[in-house]
Amino acid sequence: MNVLLNGRSGKVGSVLAPALEQAGHRLVDSVGDADVMVDFTRPDAALANVQAAVDAGVACVVGTTGWDTDAVADAPVPVLYAPNFAIGAVLMMRFATEASKLMAGAEIIEYHHPAKLDAPSGTAARTASLMDGEVAIHSVRLPGLVADQDVIFGDVAQTLTIRHVTTDRTSFMPGVLLAIRNVAQLPESPVFGLERLLWP
């Protein structure tokens, strides 16, 4: 497929660009030449990038968090937005959703590198939105971190911690490639979360 990758020189994009080419996709520089647009940029740029792709009739896979996703609620082409493309992170969210139905309370601690622009992270916000009850989120920004998250549950005389650790951004590649292959076949748009492709 012809892929327009916005954010090619960024933290994720610099890893994703060679992964796309190794998977047989061709990187293009114009939305007019693209089969799909992939965006890993900044919250203040993502919406304009998505709107340009939608206007050109190009499906979108978006990993940028912190932008106004409501603005593409009526997009005539498929738009998939996922706050996290790591399969383990998607499993963490699914397990946390199930645990929240049975445990008395929960809180989330998310850990990211200092350059992370939004707090809480999109992954933490998405996790909390899927869980039962009110879930407090605590954000940590420190050097040495990539993207980790703990979901801590408490109940009578017990706790349960579901933890996902990202040691390298290559963990996102299988999920992004899955999204690129399947975004055009989505039955509605926009679709939020990679879980829609893992458990249709």
List the catalytic residues. 112, 116
What is the per-residue DSSP string for 153-189? Answer: EEETTEEEEEEEEESSGGGGHHHHHHHHHHGGG-SSS
Rounded to whole angstroms, the Cα distance separating 22 from 170 reads 13
Rounded to whole angstroms, the Cα distance separating 102 from 77 reads 38
User: Taking the alpha carbons of 85, 91, 94, 95 in that order, is the dihedral positive or negative?
Assistant: negative
Written as six digits, the tokens of 194 are 């990679």
Following CA atoms 93, 43, 24, 22 in sequence, which dihedral angle do they give, to the nearest 10 degrees? -80
Q: Which of 126, 132, 128 is nearest to 194 (CA)?
A: 126
Rounded to whole angstroms, the Cα distance separating 111 from 22 reads 30
